[in-house]
């Protein structure tokens, strides 16, 4: 079986799906690796490193003509969608819940699509394949560094002959994997850290990292399925943003990570909350998206400064800015999944397996993932909120 690593082409994307040391792990399973010329350049992995590890370095044309499995970080580059052929497989983070039309296109082309973002998170045997976790860890860490670089004062308490600098007050909204990593990183830099999440189980996790958990009296638990949060009702949303605003106003730095699977990220920092913050405060919105993020006025990939001096960083793809660490972790995740899917030197698709049921999105010309198929069957084939997202 030939597995091929494409060169990612999304703007700012510097990760690569496999690092060279994965090649030796795949060989015993009968998997030969092809690597598109320059695929690892963004993560400082030259073609020669892949060639030395046993991969064949090829152009895009040969790659799509000969590969059995195409390995990507995000969705395949748009021109590649025309090149894919029936019976080929694509494995990557394809975000099928927010982009079900891609699944429909791949199914129509007879391509088997496997998406690491559908992995069951709480299954212990799936943990080595958990790319959402590995990439969220990278993102949570980098979010704090991005905030510290933008902030005009120190994070730690510093007592010097020139005076005492108080520590920065930093609040993390959404304390899943990325949020907890942000809390740990901010504590190591000496900030005074608090965290808030709508899932009550995260209180103990936040406190175990030495941070304070913010408890709201107006909103109850919103734990959903699979350890994820559910979407709040309009009344709950209003109560939450009203009560959070008082906490946000006291912060120097706010990092937001809140997500609800397949939905637009919830708005947590409103215009009013922004107006109550002190000039010089910094917000990193990891939920920033074209449809809006966790922070009013944030724009993905851009830094916006409000009229009252609040810097809002729309950090939509932080893992791509730590490409070596993010690629190395992702490579382990995708290698582990590929080995799980392979039997006798070929892909063995079997959706009665818990892991495969989560990750296999299309097969044999059909969208086989019930959640994604359900989205496509809704009116007009649009996404969950009617806008394709
Ligand atoms: P995520 O990226 O889907 O969301 C980030 C955080 O935002 C979550 O903690 C969520 O509760 C929170 N959130 C959503 N709406 C919110 C709102 N309105 N207000 C405040 N917070 C809000 O989450 P994730 O980091 O992918 O983690 C999802 C779950 O998976 C967690 O329960 C995590 O512990 C679990 N998990 C388990 C394992 C494991 O068992 N091995 C591994 C990884 C993740």
SS (H, E, C) 350-369: CCCCHHHHHHEEEECCEECC
How far apart, in whole angstroms, are the C-alpha atoms of residue 217 and residue 240? Answer: 9
In angstroms, what is the span from residue 133 Cα to ligand 1's centroid?
10
Structure confidence at residue 380 (pLDDT): 56
252 CB near ligand 1 (under 6 Å): no
What angle (nearest 5°) sits at the alpha carbon of residue 188, between those of residues 183 and 193? Answer: 40
Q: Residues 155, 162: contact at Cβ < 8 Å?
A: no
Asked if residues 257 and 179 have their Cβ atoms less than 8 Å apart, the reply is: yes
Cross-strand pairs, 367: 362
203 lines ligand 1 (CB under 6 A): no
Q: Ligand 1 centre and the CA of 327: distance in Å? A: 22
Question: Alpha carbon 269 to chain centroid distance?
Answer: 21
Instruction: Specify the residue with its C-alpha closest to ligand 1, atom 30.
Output: 227
Please tell me whether residue 45 adopts helix, strand or coil conformation: coil
Would you say the CB of residue 267 lies under 6 angstroms from ligand 1? no
Instruction: Report whether residue 210 contacts ligand 1, using a CB cutoff of 6 Å.
Output: no
> For position 385, what pLDDT does the model report?
37
Q: Where is 149: in which H helix or E strand?
A: helix 131-150
**Residue given tokens 């920092």 in the structure block:** 269
Is the CB of 148 inside a 6 Å radius of any atom of ligand 1?
no
Enter the tokens of residue 39. Answer: 């695929």
Residue tagged 């976790």 (tokens): 133
- Distance (Å, rounded) from C-alpha 33 to C-alpha 53? 10
* Residue 386: predicted pLDDT: 33
57: phi then psi, degrees, rounded to nearest 5: -95, 125
Low-confidence stretches of the chain (pLDDT < 70) are 379-389
* Integer Cα distance of 272 and 252 in angstroms: 16
Alpha-carbon gap, residue 283 to 288, rounded angstroms:
11
Question: Among 143, 170, 175, 142, which Cα is nearest to 156's?
Answer: 170
Q: How far apart are CA 389 and CA 98, in angstroms?
A: 5
Strand order across the beta sheet in which 56-58 lies = 56-58, 32-36, 2-5, 69-71, 89-92, 112-115, 360-363, 366-367
The DSSP code for 308 is T
CB distance 198 to ligand 1 below 6 Å: yes
**Nearest Cα residue to 67 out of 27, 92, 33, 115:** 33
Pocket test for ligand 1, best of 238, 259, 293, 336 (most atoms within 8 A of CB): 259
Q: Which residues contact 160 (CB under 8 A, 6 or more apart)?
A: none
The C-alpha atoms of residue 33 and residue 370 are separated, in whole angstroms, by: 31
* CA separation, residue 189 to residues 192, 193, 349 (Å): 9, 10, 46
- Phi, then psi, of 93 in degrees rounded to 5: -95, 95
CA distances 375 to 25, 113, 367, 383, 389, Å, are 37, 16, 11, 6, 10
Pocket test for ligand 1, best of 126, 172, 176 (most atoms within 8 A of CB): 176
pLDDT number for residue 333: 98
Tell the residue nearest (CA) to atom 7 of ligand 1. 258
Cβ of residue 238 lying under 6 Å from some atom of ligand 1: no
**Cβ count near 292 (within 10 Å):** 19
């Amino acid at each position: 079986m030939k597995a091929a690593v494409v060169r990612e082409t999304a703007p700012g994307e510097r990760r690569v799906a496999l690092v060279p040391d994965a090649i030796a792990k795949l060989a015993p399973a009968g998997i030969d690796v092809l690597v598109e010329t320059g695929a690892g350049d963004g993560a400082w992995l030259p073609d020669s490193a892949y060639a030395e590890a046993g991969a064949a370095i090829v152009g895009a044309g040969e790659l799509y003509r000969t590969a059995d499995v195409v390995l990507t970080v995000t969705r395949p580059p748009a021109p590649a969608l025309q090149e894919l052929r029936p019976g080929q497989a694509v494995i990557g983070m394809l975000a099928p819940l927010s982009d079900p039309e891609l699944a429909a296109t791949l199914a129509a082309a007879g391509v088997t699509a496997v998406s690491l973002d559908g992995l069951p998170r709480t299954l212990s045997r799936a943990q080595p394949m958990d790319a959402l976790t590995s990439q969220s860890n990278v993102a949570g860490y980098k979010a704090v560094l991005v905030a510290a670089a933008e902030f005009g004062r120190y994070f730690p308490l510093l007592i010097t002959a020139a005076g005492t600098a108080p520590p920065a007050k930093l609040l993390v909204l959404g304390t899943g994997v990325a949020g907890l990593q942000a809390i740990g990183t901010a504590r190591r830099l000496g900030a005074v850290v608090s965290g808030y999440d709508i899932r009550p189980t995260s209180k103990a996790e936040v406190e175990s990292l030495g941070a304070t958990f913010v408890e709201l009296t107006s909103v109850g638990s919103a734990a959903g399925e699979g350890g994820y949060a559910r979407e709040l009702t309009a009344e709950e949303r209003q109560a939450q943003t009203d009560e959070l605003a008082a906490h946000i106003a006291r912060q120097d730095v706010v990092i937001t990570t809140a997500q609800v699977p397949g939905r637009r990220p919830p708005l947590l920092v409103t215009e009013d909350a922004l107006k109550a913050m002190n000039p010089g405060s910094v917000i990193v919105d990891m939920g920033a998206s074209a449809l809006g993020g966790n922070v009013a006025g944030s724009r993905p990939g851009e830094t916006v400064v409000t009229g009252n001096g609040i810097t809002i960083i729309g950090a939509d793809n932080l893992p791509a800015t730590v490409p070596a660490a993010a690629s190395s972790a992702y490579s382990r995740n995708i290698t582990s999944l590929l080995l799980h899917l392979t039997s006798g030197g070929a892909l063995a698709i079997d959706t009665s397996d818990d892991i495969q049921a989560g990750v296999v999105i299309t097969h044999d010309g059909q969208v086989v993932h019930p959640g994604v198929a359900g989205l496509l069957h809704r009116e007009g084939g649009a996404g969950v909120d009617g806008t394709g997202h």
